[in-house]
Structure formats: C-alpha cells, structure tokens
Amino acid sequence: MLKKVLIANRGEIAMRILRGCSDLGIESVAVYSNADRLSTYVRKAAEAHHIGPPPVSESYLRGDKLIDIALNCGADGIHPGYGLLAENADFAQAAIDAGLTWIGPPPEAIAMMGDKTIARDAMTQAGVPVVPGSPKGLSDEELQAIAPEIGYPLLVKAAAGGGGKGMRAVHAPEELAAALRMARNEAKAAFGDNQVYLERLLIGARHVEVQILADAHGNVIHLGERECSIQRRHQKLIEESPSPAVNSVLRERMGAVAIAAARAANYVSAGTVEFLLDQNGSFYFLEMNTRLQVEHPVTEMVTGVDIVKEMLRIAAGRRMSHKQKDIQLKGWAIECRILAEDAFNNFIPSIGQITGLSLPTGGGVRVDSGVYYNMEVSPYYDSLLAKLVTHGGTRAESILRMRRALDEFTLTGVKTTIPFHIKMMNHARFQAGQLDTNFLDNHFSMDDDPSLKYAKVAAAAAALVAHRHSKEAILLHQGGPSPWRLYGRREALDRRLK
C-alpha cells in the first residue's frame, strides 16, 4: 500500500480523503493557502505545507508547487479530490513523470473524457447511446446551419470542462447567435478554450448517473445509480441513491452501458458516467467525470463500499475489494449540499464569519464537512460548506430523517441553503419522486410559502438582539451600568409601551 499521500485539495473533500487514508494506515499531507491556514483538515493531517495566497491560481492550481511539496516531504502519492486539478491530464502526467502514484484514472482517459466531443465520438463507437448533437470545431455560422437538423430546443455546451459553465439553453433560432457568443466567452474564461458544440435539449429528462470502479487487472463494476435532477444553473443541489425512476431491470441496463463506457476509455479508478433519462425510459450518455464525485457518499451509504479507500487500493496496484455480485443496494440515501448561498435571493454567494455551529447527529446521519466555529467564509473558493447525508430503510424514512437533521443543523454568520432544503423535503412533488432537471424552474419557488416571508424579519430581529448584547458587553467591560440596572430599564420601558 501507499505510505504517504499528498491531498491536492482543500475543505470537506480534503477531510474526506484524509479519513480514508487514516483508515488504511496511510499518512496524509495537507496543503493550504493563507485563507485556509486554520482549517480542520490542516490541523488533522500528519503534516501541512503552505502553498500560497488565497487565489487558486496562485495556490491550489500550482501543480508544480504541489509536486515539489510531495517530493520534498517524502509522499509517494497524490490524491486530487474533485475540482481544481482533479481532471487535469497534464497535472496527472506530471505527477507520474515525477515518480509519484496518481490516485485517479490514467491521463489518457482524463484527456479523452475531458473533451466532450471526443468523448461522444468514443461512446458512439462503443455502442453507447448518445444525445444527438454536433461535432466540435464548427464556426458559429456552421452551428447555426446544423441546428435545425439537431432540433430545438437545444443546448450550447463547452467542449472542455463541465459543471454547467459555458452552457446555454436555446429554445428558438433567434436565440442561438447570442447563446453562442455568451457560451464561448464563458468557456474561454473558465477553461481557456472557447470551442462549443450543440446538443439536443431533452425536456422533462432526469439527470441520472452511474458510479463505476475499475482496477488495473481488468475488473470493472458499477455501484448503482444516483438521481441528481435537483439543480440550479446546472449545478446539483440534492442527490439520492437509488433513483425513484430506476427499477432493477433499468439499473442493470444502465450499469452495463456505464461499464462499456469505462472499458472504451481504458478506465482505471473511480469514475461516474452521467446520463439523461427521458420520460419513456430511454437514456443517453451525457459525459463521464474522471474523478471522485461530490455526491459519492450516497452511493457509499447504500452499498457499504468506501470509494476513497478503493481508489487508494487501486492506485497501489491491488485488485478491488468487491465483485459485481457483491453489490446490493440497501435502503435509501439522500444528500443535501449545504452551501454558503442565499436561497431567498437567487442563491447568491454569502461570505462572512461563522458565528455559531452545531452539526446534526443520530442514527443514519452523516455530515462531510470542513467548517468550524469562527471560520471565515471567503469569496475565493466554492460555496460548499458541508454535505448532509441521511440513510433510511425507505425513501420516505430517509426524507423524514433529513427533515430532522436539517432542523438540528445550526450555522449562523452566513446565509446557507438550509432553508431551501427544508422546504424541498416538504415539497409534495419531491416526496413523490416526480423530478426532472427543470424542477426548480417549473415547480418550486422560495417565495410561494407565506411563512417563509418572515425569515428575513426573524433574521433582522436576531441581529438587533445580538447587537444589543454586544453593546451591553462593551459597557460592562468599560465599567458601565450593571446588568441588573440594564434589565430594570428594559422592564420599565416595556411597561410604558404596554
């Protein structure tokens, strides 16, 4: 096995990988920017090294620094987590060339699946069903000419990258020129590549993905599916396993296709094959994520497979611990992404200091988190604070457990998506499993519940109370009036008001 692994990431995923390493007796090495110097993962790692100032371009994206640190501290492997450099084929190859073990798929697989049009071509040749679309490398004029053949509505998508960046929905021909311009600009800014392609937009489709594991000995298995249809701006908010729309027969069909996709890419390690599932039960290849997914905990909860530990075993050249016949889905798991975003204000990011924190506990509750009391939520990084996961014998039980866990989850100082998740768990269509990727646009609003309109009033009142208490503390520190005198004044004022 590996002896020492550098974690080329931060936040909750760094903590998750650290725990996986610890469970296998592997020392973990953390890296941190100025903004992350007090983070939990930094304090829990066997050793930690400063990597630069807060901007990721000067710290976590400096692959040369990461490799130098790994070599100098005696690490024999690098785990990239997700995001940042996780799907950077050049970084993976540089780590391998430096003599380090890359805990992820081969650089060639990363490169193949990182270019969405090359991936589509490879999947078509492998017999994997693909959403109709265009090749990359076409000019705007050529794309406008081919669009009617693909059919409206359609999506303009960046050929490189993912995560919803460089993506625009187009419902009519007159919208296409502007969508192409905006998608190219966004793709260039996000990925350094402005190439885009067109893909038919499937209305009412679900986003369903299949987790796969593959080792270097030719073994490939799938771990069932995850439902990821609750999204805003193409970013997932809630995931669950299994999917309410997938039965055992469809699961095996999708699993077999996902395995075929992995074999076509000569894949090794953990990966996810994403599909669009239409209302008729037909499914189409969307893309393959060549990394550990944010939502991997729900699969772990229902299968009992520790995906991070399997990645470490596979990277060390060992066979997987499981065969396909061993994989049985037990119960139901749901994950809510707790983001530092204002759900009442179009999910705009929220920054500030965490002034109060209490995490939920109890049976069937898991919290993957990197947050801590007094932590500064900065504008430099992704807004993900924690992943709240519940597991129950049935979907209904998992939802009820999630409602309880959300009620117990206290995080103050910044706005979070907890109110959104509470409302979603109480939504009749969600409870019935009637989901699609346009759920939030067509069936949900944070403003349609009158009781939620008082949330801002309550927050303002809480802020006033906190302000009054802080003023009283200053007076006491400066030798001001006693708390008894202040209490008497408030009582007198209350009587006058009555």
Let me know if 232 is a catalytic residue: no
Residues 104/108/111/116 CA torsion (nearest 10 deg): -100
Catalytic residue among 184, 226, 232, 291: 291
Q: What is the residue whose two structure tokens read 């490939």?
A: 220
How many whole angstroms separate alpha carbon 370 and alpha carbon 300?
Answer: 19
- Give the residue numbers annotated as catalytic, written as ranges: 291
